[in-house]
Amino acid sequence: MPNKVIIRIIAGLLFLGATFAPLPQSAWANEPWYPGALLDYFKERMRNDSARTFLPISLAEELALGKEIAIEINRRFGGLLQNDDLIRYLNQVGMNLGRVSSRPDLHYTLGILNADFINAYAIPGGMIFITRGLLAQVRDESELAGVLAHEVAHIARKHAIETFADERKKEMLRVISRQELEDNPATVKNLYAKMKSNVLDRDMGEEMEIEADQIARIMTARLGYDPDGLARYLVRVSRVSPNREGHFQFSPALEKRIKFLEWKSGLDRQTHGEQKSEYKVLAERFRKFINAHTLGTQP
């Protein structure tokens, strides 16, 4: 799919999300960006970091990195499902979660990848992609909220950004001098490509996954959802196809995540008592909406 088409799709997602809330006055709306902008910015940062200062990742860099990763994800996985009503519904759930996150200033935007495997991608800067295969396994809105809250938590806690920053430090320690960067422009380009790929492909790690699960429970409960929704979803899909391409390929500690969530659920019941009747499950609304909007493959 040509870059211009993918950029239009991403712009469309941002527009759909904006129908529920105005864009915040942040770098998301104000920073100039074009394909390759981050590489230019990255070159300058690498020159600065060559003095071993290792400056923290800025918001502008986070947003630019996210936009470039979003384009790469669309290239890899065949683009997005085009259904405005379904996207609006998912964005409403996602942005409500964003408002109770630790970074409510970000503009959280959701898209559905037209792919059968089960996976979700938390993109730096606020974009979240879930696959059609993942959505097909969700049974109610509390499960959907749990899945999306987990991804929002990754973004809010800057887990992918931490990965990117760590990779930058590792690679910079291999660069001999600033002069090497000046004399060999390809060095910077190769380092940048490798680090961007690692952000997209690398497992977040057990500690980050558990942290995102814990935060997801808190966020969903704040909105009145059943905080056990995420655990129900994980248990179900682990039984369906634990070896399929996608979600479980990147979650080797899935069993530990499920055990943690079940332990946390039991602990909360001991502390606060049984509150199931007070939580929103919204299975009927979810099924009605999803049944009205096919998840079948689109050309």
- What SS3 class is residue 211? helix
Whole-number percent of the chain with pLDDT over 70:
59
Count of structural domains, the chain:
1
Residue 14 in contact with residue 80, Cβ under 8 Å?
Answer: no
pLDDT of residue 212 exceeding 60: yes
Residue 132 C-beta-side C-alpha neighbours within 13 Å: 17
Neighbours of 262 (CB within 10 A): 14
Residue 55 in contact with residue 45, Cβ under 8 Å?
Answer: yes
Mean pLDDT over 136-163 rounds to 93
Residue 204 C-beta-side C-alpha neighbours within 13 Å: 29
Residue 43 C-beta-side C-alpha neighbours within 13 Å: 16
Residue 149 in contact with residue 230, Cβ under 8 Å?
Answer: yes
* Least reliable range by pLDDT among 47-56, 147-156, 158-167, 223-232: 47-56
CA distance readout (Å), 44 to 28, 54, 189, 199: 20, 12, 12, 20
Dmax (CA) for the chain in angstroms is 66
pLDDT of residue 27 exceeding 70: no
CA distance readout (Å), 21 to 14, 76, 99, 106, 107: 11, 30, 10, 11, 9
The neighbouring-strand residues paired with 118 are 246
Spatial distance between the Cα atoms of 198 and 208, rounded to a whole number of angstroms: 16
Mean pLDDT over 204-224 rounds to 92
**Containing structural domain, residue 71:** 3-292
Whether 299 is in a domain gets the answer no
Whether 199 is in a domain gets the answer yes
H-helix or E-strand spanning residue 5: helix 3-18
The per-residue pLDDT for range 63-116, each reduced to its tens digit, is 888 888 898 898 888 899 988 888 999 999 999 999 999 999 999 999 999 999
Q: What angle do CA 158, 16, 94 make, to 5 degrees?
A: 40
Spatial distance between the Cα atoms of 232 and 107, rounded to a whole number of angstroms: 28
Whether 297 is in a domain gets the answer no
Whether 298 is in a domain gets the answer no
The per-residue pLDDT for range 245-286, each reduced to its tens digit, is 555 444 557 888 999 899 888 787 766 555 665 678 888 888
Q: Where are the alpha helices (DSSP H) in 23-140?
A: 27-30, 37-49, 59-76, 84-99, 132-137
Spatial distance between the Cα atoms of 62 and 85, rounded to a whole number of angstroms: 29
